Amino acid sequence: MTLQTLTKPWEPMSYGFLDGSAKREIRRKMIKAIAVPGCQMPYASREVPMARGWGTGGLQVSLTLVNPAMRVKVIDQGADDSVNAASIRRFIARVAGTPTTMDTLEADLIQSRHRIPEEVLREDQVLVLQVPNPEPLRPVQPNMSIARQMHADADYGRMWLQLYEQIVRSGRVMQGASYPSLVHGRHVMTPSPIPRWDVPKLHMAKHLTILSAGREKRIFAVPPYTRVEPLVFSDVPYKVEDHADLTCHRSGTRGFFMNEIPQDDGTLVFEVSDSAWGVKAIRRRDGEEVALGETWYKNGKMPS
């Protein structure tokens, strides 16, 4: 062994910003996360040039996976063009030289904050979800050591109690986003703050989902063809948001998750939340040849 063999040629910066040891650590933890679906794996969560809580967890996973042939799409609450999404997309493209896209069908890697695209993801696509709070038990058990023990024991009684109390108090489950879901019949996870509308898309999906919380330093995953069942009582069925009959005022598309836009006169109009889907619908309406993918929801209903 010589000094020469222990060194590497000089590089101005690491490809994909993260250094080798950071990538290897995330790789090792992703292996374990995929092997135990829904179980939170601790990881180091290195510094990236972005504040914690703005998608650093998702960004680290994306930077580990990217290569120059991988087409990247980044969305923030469904929109490709919001500040957070645009900044992350530009950063990945700058440090990894990846091509970018806004079209779900063209993307190999989709990093998302709080939405799953409306078009069905394929077997070769990876969805990376940014997670602010990875611990579904936090509202019922603030001590994370005890929460870990509860996960180990599959002790989810308090989760059920919380849902029961909501139904007793309010007549329905009040949990809007990050609906607690049982993965592979063993671990309860938070699916990141995606709306209830999106949770059924994870159940037996074809794509790989990786959820990463940079601030909380936890990574977990939902492999393809894995059961993801929202916690519900057998006599109180799971309900998605009542958006099936809403029409987007810009694209005219109907039966998808909508953003509510208050108007000056006190009324509301709706706009489809998945901006790339809306743009494609408008372009098709205007007579362009646009490929629209199959959607999870058909006529506002998720086929069971």
Which residues form the interface with another protein (CB under 8 A)?
1, 5-6, 8-9, 11-16, 20-21, 23-25, 27-32, 34-37, 39, 41-42, 64-68, 93-97, 123, 148-149, 152-153, 184, 186-187, 208, 221, 223-227
Indicate the residue among 79 and 131 with the shorter CB distance to another protein. 131
122, burial (CB in 10 Å: exposed 0-12, middle 13-18, buried 19+):
middle
* Residue 265 beta carbon to another protein: minimum distance, rounded to whole angstroms: 49
Indicate the residue among 94 and 285 with the shorter CB distance to another protein. 94
Cβ-defined contacts of 157-160 (< 8 Å, 24+): 159/188, 159/231, 160/231, 160/233
Indicate the residue among 15 and 238 with the shorter CB distance to another protein. 15
**Number of neighbours of residue 13 by Cβ within 10 angstroms:** 8
* Residue 131 beta carbon to another protein: minimum distance, rounded to whole angstroms: 17
Alpha helices (runs of H) in 140-186, residue ranges in sequence order: 144-152, 157-170
172, burial (CB in 10 Å: exposed 0-12, middle 13-18, buried 19+):
exposed
Indicate the residue among 180 and 278 with the shorter CB distance to another protein. 180
d(CA 13, CA 22): 14
* Residue 124 beta carbon to another protein: minimum distance, rounded to whole angstroms: 8
8, burial (CB in 10 Å: exposed 0-12, middle 13-18, buried 19+):
exposed
* Residue 25 beta carbon to another protein: minimum distance, rounded to whole angstroms: 7
* Residue 140 beta carbon to another protein: minimum distance, rounded to whole angstroms: 18
3-class DSSP assignment, residue 117: coil
* Residue 132 beta carbon to another protein: minimum distance, rounded to whole angstroms: 22
Indicate the residue among 260 and 294 with the shorter CB distance to another protein. 294
d(CA 296, CA 228): 15
Indicate the residue among 63 and 258 with the shorter CB distance to another protein. 63
